[in-house]
Structure formats: C-alpha cells, structure tokens
Amino acid sequence: MFVSAGPGSAYERCPYYPTAATFILSAMWHGAYPRVYDVMTWAATQICICYMVVPFILLSVGPSLKFYRSVNNNKLLQG
C-alpha cells in the first residue's frame, strides 16, 4: 500500500528542516548502512539538483539558458 505525504505526514509535522528529518527518519526506519559509495552518490545528487532547479527559480527560458551556457564555458569544468 502506498501512503502519500499528505496532511499529517511526518514531513508536514516537522517544524524544522523537514527534508533532513525525513532522510534521517527513513535511514532509521530502513537501516543506515553508510559507505563511501553512498556518500559520493549523495554528494553527486545534491550537485545535480542544484543545477536542475535553476530554471524553476528563474522562471524564464532566456536567463536559464544564459546560466547553463556560463556553466558550460566555465574553465573549471573544461579540464
């Protein structure tokens, strides 16, 4: 049975840092088995999310493309 995160869910009831609290609750519920691979996967996911949310923050195609072009032309990413 699938239970959605609706009103009254653990996410909704947490007044401080609900996302982090949800991750911690999930780790406690399912068991936490941290490994180097898990940490690297988590870090890569956080970096990807940072770049993927830009269009939703800017809410415009032009500035979003300008941002992605600037990231593409960044000397740090070229080698």
> In terms of domains, do 77 and 44 share one?
yes
For residues 1 and 57, give the distance between their C-alpha atoms in angstroms, rounded to a whole number. 34
> In terms of domains, do 75 and 53 share one?
yes
Q: At residue 29, does pLDDT exceed 90?
A: no
Q: pLDDT tens, 35-70?
A: 777 888 889 999 999 889 999 999 999 999 998 888
The total domain count for the chain is 2
For residues 63 and 12, give the distance between their C-alpha atoms in angstroms, rounded to a whole number. 33
Q: At residue 9, does pLDDT exceed 90?
A: no
The answer to whether the predicted template modeling score (pTM) of the entire model surpasses 0.75 is: no
For residues 27 and 30, give the distance between their C-alpha atoms in angstroms, rounded to a whole number. 5
Indicate the range of 5-9, 18-22, 45-49, 55-59 predicted with least confidence.
Answer: 5-9
Domain extent for 16: 1-32
> In terms of domains, do 46 and 72 share one?
yes
> In terms of domains, do 49 and 22 share one?
no
> In terms of domains, do 7 and 23 share one?
yes
The confidence band for 12, taking pLDDT boundaries of 50, 70 and 90, is confident
> In terms of domains, do 22 and 45 share one?
no
